Amino acid sequence: MVPTKAGIALCMLVAPILALAVSSSASHATGGGESPTTADQTRILDKRNTERLLANKGLTLQWIDWDHRGTATVTRRAGVWSLHRRQADVNGPGLLALDGTITEIGPDYFTFQGKITISNTPDPGRTCSADKTWHFAVTQNRRYYRLREFEWCDSLTDYVDIYF
């Protein structure tokens, strides 16, 4: 089939209208928040949880300390949300570090692409480090997101929590 001049003209007229409709639909689906335009941008599906992440109150790993939370930084740049977190044991060498990109924020969850490292806790010399996609979720109406991959390194269960 050979395109005609009339067919090409019609496509040139309709394409901008379709693009506007798709853009408006994406904005509505995300609650009017940021709508991703490239695969690299963070996908926003829930505004309340974006606010929770931006105003977070730190993180903990149960082996280090429940009472002294680590620092937590969430930044936004060009539609990409980054997550940088750290908790260090005040009485020893234990360390938890997270560094990467939040790929999606939804109702009571978010996904994170990046590196999580746990070292020297609960035992000296224990080191766990992986760079992959991670899942955090709020369960049972708790006031924190918990890492859903519990035993990702060895036979120990690691509770990584991010508070809001």
Distance of alpha carbon 146 from alpha carbon 160, whole angstroms: 6
Q: 65: which DSSP letter?
A: -
Condensed to tens digits (0 to 9), the pLDDT of residues 23-33 reads 333 433 444 44
Return the domain boundaries, the chain.
Answer: 1-30, 43-163
Higher pLDDT, 20 or 128: 128
For residue 42, give the nearest of 99, 81, 98, 83 by alpha carbon: 81
Condensed to tens digits (0 to 9), the pLDDT of residues 66-93 reads 889 999 999 999 999 999 999 999 888 9
pLDDT on residue 31: 45
pLDDT on residue 14: 35
pLDDT on residue 155: 87
Q: How confident is the model at residue 39 (pLDDT cuts 50, 70, 90)?
A: low
3-state secondary structure (DSSP) of residue 6: helix
The number of angstroms, rounded, from the C-alpha of 121 to the middle of its chain's C-alpha atoms is 25
Most confident listed range (25-29, 37-41, 108-112) = 108-112
